[in-house]
C-alpha cells in the first residue's frame, strides 16, 4: 500500500479545453464603394428621365389664357399692362370661359377683385362704358335662343346674321362679323314656344353695317353667334 494516496483523474471533458481550436473570425460582407453607389444613382435617374420623356410627363401646359398681371379691384378699367398671357392646362370645356388675347379686354371693367395670376373669366369683366372710337353702338332685340341662349358675355366678339323669308326660299346673310358685344340685357320672360328675348348692343364700325343691321332688325330673324377667331373691328 502507498499510504492510501489517491490520484485524482480528470473527468471526461475536463482539462481538454486547451486543445479546442480558436474561434474563427467572422467576415462582414463588403459594402459597395462610393463610386458604385454614385453610378447606380445616375443609372436610376437616367431611367426615370427616359420614362418621363417617353410618357410626355415633362411637357409643359399646352393652352394659353389671359391672367391678371397685378391686383385689380372691382370696377377697374382694364389697361394693357394689367394683363399677361400665361401657359395653362385646362379641360376643353373651360376654354370658352377664358380669353386667349388681352387686346379684347382693354377698356373693359372688372366685376370682381382679381389678384396677380388669377384667370380672367368672361364672368369677371364687362365691356367698358364707352364703345370703341370710330364705332357706333347699335341695339336690337333677339330671341334668346338665337343669341347663344343668353350666354354671350360683354366684351366678346360676335357675328350678326340675318335670315330673310321662311321655308325653302329663306336665305341667310352676314350683317357684321367680329364686332364687339357691348351689352346683353334681358327683355322679356319666356313664353310658350320661346325662351324670351334679349337686347343685344354691338359696336358697328362701318355705316353699311349699321344700315344692314337696321334693316335686318325690322324684317329678318337675327342671330348672334360667338365669333370663331375673336377678331374684328
For residue range 66-102, what is the model confidence (pLDDT) as tens digits?
999 999 987 788 998 999 999 887 776 666 788 888 9
Give yes or no for residue 110 having a pLDDT over 60. Answer: yes
pLDDT of the residue at 84: 94
Average pLDDT over residues 165-194: 82
pLDDT of the residue at 90: 74
Give yes or no for residue 12 having a pLDDT over 70. Answer: no
pLDDT of the residue at 129: 54
Average pLDDT over residues 187-191: 61
Q: In the numeric block, which cell numbers belong to residue 231?
A: 377678331
Give yes or no for residue 233 having a pLDDT over 50. Answer: no
Give yes or no for residue 39 having a pLDDT over 80. Answer: no
pLDDT of the residue at 103: 87
Selected residue with higher pLDDT from 189 and 196? 196
Per-residue CA distances from 85 to 14, 32, 63, 119 (Å):
94, 51, 10, 10
Average pLDDT over residues 22-46: 55
pLDDT of the residue at 46: 56
pLDDT of the residue at 216: 94
Q: Report percent pLDDT > 70 for the chain.
A: 64
Buried b (16+ CB within 10 A) or exposed e, 196-205: ebbebbbbbb
Give yes or no for residue 41 having a pLDDT over 70. Answer: no
Give yes or no for residue 219 having a pLDDT over 90. Answer: yes
Rg of the chain on CA atoms, in Å? 41
Mean pLDDT rounded to a whole number for the chain:
77
Q: DSSP per residue over the chain, as a string? A: --TT-----PPTTSS-GGGSPPPPPPPPPPPPPHHHHHHHHHHHHHHHHHHHHHHTTT----EEEEEESS-B-TTPBP-GGGEEEEEE---GGGGGGB-S-GGGGTT-EESS-B-TT-B-BGGGEE--SSPPTT-EEEEEEEEGGGTGGGT--TT-EEEEEEEESSGGG-EEEEEEEEEEEEEEEEEE--BTTB--EEEEEEEE-SHHHHHHHHHHHHHSEEEEEE-SS----
pLDDT of the residue at 231: 45
Amino acid at each position: 500500500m502507498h499510504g492510501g494516496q489517491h490520484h485524482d483523474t480528470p473527468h471526461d471533458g475536463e482539462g481538454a479545453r486547451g486543445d479546442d481550436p480558436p474561434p474563427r473570425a467572422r467576415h462582414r460582407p463588403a459594402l459597395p464603394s462610393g463610386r458604385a453607389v454614385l453610378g447606380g444613382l445616375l443609372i436610376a435617374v437616367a431611367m426615370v428621365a427616359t420614362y418621363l420623356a417617353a410618357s410626355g410627363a415633362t411637357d409643359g401646359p399646352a393652352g394659353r389664357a389671359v391672367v391678371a398681371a397685378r391686383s385689380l379691384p372691382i370696377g377697374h378699367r382694364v389697361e394693357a399692362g394689367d394683363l399677361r398671357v400665361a401657359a395653362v392646362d385646362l379641360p376643353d370645356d373651360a376654354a370658352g370661359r377664358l380669353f386667349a388675347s388681352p387686346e379684347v379686354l382693354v377698356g373693359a371693367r372688372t366685376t370682381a377683385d382679381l389678384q396677380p395670376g388669377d384667370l380672367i373669366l368672361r364672368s369677371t369683366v364687362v365691356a367698358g362704358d364707352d364703345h370703341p372710337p370710330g364705332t357706333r353702338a347699335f341695339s336690337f332685340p333677339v330671341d334668346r335662343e338665337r343669341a347663344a341662349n343668353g350666354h354671350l358675355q360683354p366684351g366678346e366678339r360676335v357675328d350678326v346674321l340675318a335670315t330673310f323669308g321662311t321655308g325653302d326660299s329663306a336665305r341667310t346673310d352676314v350683317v357684321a362679323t367680329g364686332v364687339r358685344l357691348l351689352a346683353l340685357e334681358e327683355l322679356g320672360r319666356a313664353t310658350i314656344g320661346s325662351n324670351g328675348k334679349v337686347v343685344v348692343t354691338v359696336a358697328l364700325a362701318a355705316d353699311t353695317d349699321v344700315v344692314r343691321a337696321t334693316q335686318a332688325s325690322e324684317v329678318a330673324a337675327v342671330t348672334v353667334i360667338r365669333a370663331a377667331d375673336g377678331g374684328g373691328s
